[in-house]
């Protein structure tokens, strides 16, 4: 009996600890940031409170009642699993905080260390800031073909011409899975053709899975952008503060066959974010055409700060029945600060 009581006290304390951790701001913020229903936390708290209320009595009765003993044993396993899950969440929160602090620290660095390109066996370089002088330029990336994981290249306004971008040799960096290309966005008079040429020259390897383009000042995107043959594995695209582009790539809006080929790539996208992308042409559209279920794998769609954009369409009217329901896997839809926006989603969300 004494052993049972000790076990009961231990398990009760364990449940109380889990209860306290679930109520912590760190766990609550984790759920809120990911748009996870916070009511699930409240229900779990209520469940833990109810369990705690009968736990001591159950520990005493388990000696005489094998069913109660089985329940207590299963409860112990569940509590230990919950503890492991909470540990994992707190570890991820701490890691994200560390990465945010690291990014904030790196953003204060004026330039990447001189002649970074000499480190030919470098495998990890999360952040490269392009400078204006030799030794700090984007060409330093040219021979770093072992780079992998996530790479952010900022300060692209300092790239002189497309030949420097080509010399960066991104198309040979097969181990990079996530790529961020960022301009400063501070120069309102920046040459849009120069920006487009630079972006054209920074064509990544076909193994890329996630692409973010930030503060791009060009009016058009290069042909490789959105082309299923150039980026067959792309699953996530973010366009942020691309204020001036007025035409999607011709691989999206050209002939029927071009649209179809492009759509083969788009079907596998999981996330599409268009943020502060103001002036896309009103005649741009994406056709599902022959391809079944357009955007069938897309799970997250966010349209933000598209103040002048009136319409974005991903299929031609009347094609839904033939092509299958688009966005069938969509789990998160955010349309924020788009006062004039009319998306084709409205036609089948009602």
The 10s digit of each residue's pLDDT in 135-176 is 889 999 999 999 999 999 999 999 988 999 999 999 999 999
**Has residue 111 been placed in a domain?**
no
Distance CA 88, CA 175 (A): 27
Tokens 């033939």 map to which residue? 322
Q: Is there a single domain that holds both residue 183 and residue 300?
A: yes
Domain assignment of residue 113, yes or no: no
The reported pTM is 0.60
Task: Name the nearest CA neighbour of 252 among 224, 272, 233.
Answer: 224
d(CA 252, CA 221): 11
Q: Is residue 250 part of a domain?
A: yes
pLDDT in tens, 81-96: 777 777 887 787 777 7
- Is residue 110 predicted with pLDDT exceeding 50? yes
pLDDT of residue 202: 96
Structural domain harbouring 189: 119-349
Number of domains in the chain: 2
DSSP structure string for 2-23: HHHHHHHHHHHHHHHHHHHHHT
pLDDT at 26 over 70: yes
Q: Does the structure show a pLDDT above 60 at 17? A: yes
Share of the chain above pLDDT 90, in %: 17
Quote the CA–CA distance of 147 and 122 in Å, as a whole number: 6
In 3D space, the residue among 350, 239, 253, 257 whose CA is nearest the CA of residue 301 turns out to be 239
pLDDT at 192 over 90: no
* 68 and 168 belong to one structural domain: no
Regarding whether 220 and 254 lie in a shared domain, the answer is yes
> Across residues 255-264, what is the average pLDDT?
39
Q: Is the pLDDT of residue 312 over 90?
A: no
Which of 54, 72, 106 is a domain's end point? Answer: 106
Answer yes or no: do 100 and 181 share one domain: no
């Amino acid at each position: 009996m004494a052993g049972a009581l000790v076990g009961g006290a231990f398990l009760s304390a364990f449940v109380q600890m889990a209860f306290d951790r679930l109520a912590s701001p760190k766990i609550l913020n984790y759920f809120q940031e990911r748009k996870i229903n916070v009511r699930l936390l409240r229900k779990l708290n209520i469940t833990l409170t109810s369990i705690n209320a009968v736990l001591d009595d159950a520990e005493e009765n388990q000696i005489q009642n094998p069913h109660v003993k089985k329940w207590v044993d299963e409860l112990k396993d569940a509590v230990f699993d919950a503890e492991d899950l909470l540990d994992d969440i707190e570890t991820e929160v701490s890691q994200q905080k560390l990465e945010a602090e690291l990014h904030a620290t790196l953003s204060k660095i004026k330039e990447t260390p001189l002649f970074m390109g000499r480190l030919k066996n470098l495998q990890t370089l999360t952040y490269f800031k392009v400078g204006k002088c030799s030794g700090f330029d984007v060409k330093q990336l040219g021979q770093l073909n072992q780079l992998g994981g996530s790479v952010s290249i900022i300060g692209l306004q300092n790239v002189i011409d497309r030949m420097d971008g080509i010399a960066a040799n991104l198309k040979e960096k097969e181990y990079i899975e996530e790529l961020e290309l960022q301009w400063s966005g501070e120069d309102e008079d920046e040459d849009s053709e120069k920006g487009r040429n630079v972006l054209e020259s920074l064509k990544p390897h076909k193994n890329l899975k996630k692409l973010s383009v930030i503060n791009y000042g060009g009016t058009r995107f290069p042909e490789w952008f959105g082309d299923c043959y150039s980026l067959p594995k792309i699953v996530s695209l973010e366009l942020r503060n691309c204020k001036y582009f007025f035409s999607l790539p011709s691989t999206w809006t050209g002939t029927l066959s071009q649209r179809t080929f492009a759509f083969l790539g788009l079907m596998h996208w999981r996330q599409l974010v268009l943020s502060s992308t103001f002036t896309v042409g009103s005649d741009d559209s994406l056709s599902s055409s022959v391809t079944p279920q357009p955007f069938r794998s897309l799970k997250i769609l966010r349209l933000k700060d598209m103040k002048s954009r009136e319409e974005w369409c991903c299929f031609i009217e009347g094609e839904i029945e033939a092509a299958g329901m688009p966005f069938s896997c969509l789990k998160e839809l955010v349309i924020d600060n788009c006062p004039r926006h009319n998306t084709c989603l409205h036609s089948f969300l009602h």
